Amino acid sequence: MNRRDDAYLQGRLDMIWDRYFSDIEQKNDVKIKFGRRARTRLGSIRQESREHLNSFKPTTIIINGLLKDEKIPEFLIDSVIAHEMVHYTHGFASPHERKYATPHAGGVIKKEMQRRGLEDLFVLQKKWLKENWQKYAAENLPKRSIMYRKPRRRRFSIIFR
- Rounded to whole angstroms, how far apart are CA atoms 47 and 45? 7
**Residue 35 is assigned to a structural domain of this protein:** yes
DSSP 30: E
The DSSP-derived string for 112-137 is HHHHTT-HHHHHHHHHHIIIIIHHHH
- Rounded to whole angstroms, how far apart are CA atoms 135 and 152? 37
- Rounded to whole angstroms, how far apart are CA atoms 38 and 140? 10
| Domain of residue 129, residue span | 6-140
pLDDT bin (cut points 50, 70, 90) of residue 53 is low
For helices 119-128 and 108-115, the axis angle rounded to 10 degrees is 130
pLDDT at 1: 47
pLDDT at 56: 78
How do strand 43-47 and strand 59-63 relate by DSSP bridges? antiparallel
pLDDT at 93: 93
Q: What residues are paired with 43 via a beta bridge? A: 63
Put the strands of the sheet holding 43-47 in their side by side order: 30-34, 59-63, 43-47
- Rounded to whole angstroms, how far apart are CA atoms 83 and 110? 9
Q: What is the mean pLDDT of the chain?
A: 89
User: Does the pLDDT of residue 159 top 80, yes or no?
Assistant: no
**Residue 112 is assigned to a structural domain of this protein:** yes
**Residue 148 is assigned to a structural domain of this protein:** no
**Residue 118 is assigned to a structural domain of this protein:** yes
pLDDT at 54: 53
Contact at 8 Å (CB) between 54 and 20? no
**Residue 150 is assigned to a structural domain of this protein:** no
DSSP H or E segment with residue 7: helix 6-20
**Residue 1 is assigned to a structural domain of this protein:** no
Q: Kindly state the average pLDDT of the residues 15-19.
A: 98
pLDDT bin (cut points 50, 70, 90) of residue 73 is very high
90-143 pLDDT, tens digit each: 999 999 999 999 999 999 999 999 999 999 999 999 999 999 999 999 999 987
**Residue 158 is assigned to a structural domain of this protein:** no
Instruction: Indicate the number of domains in the chain.
Output: 1
User: Does the pLDDT of residue 157 top 60, yes or no?
Assistant: no
pLDDT at 156: 58
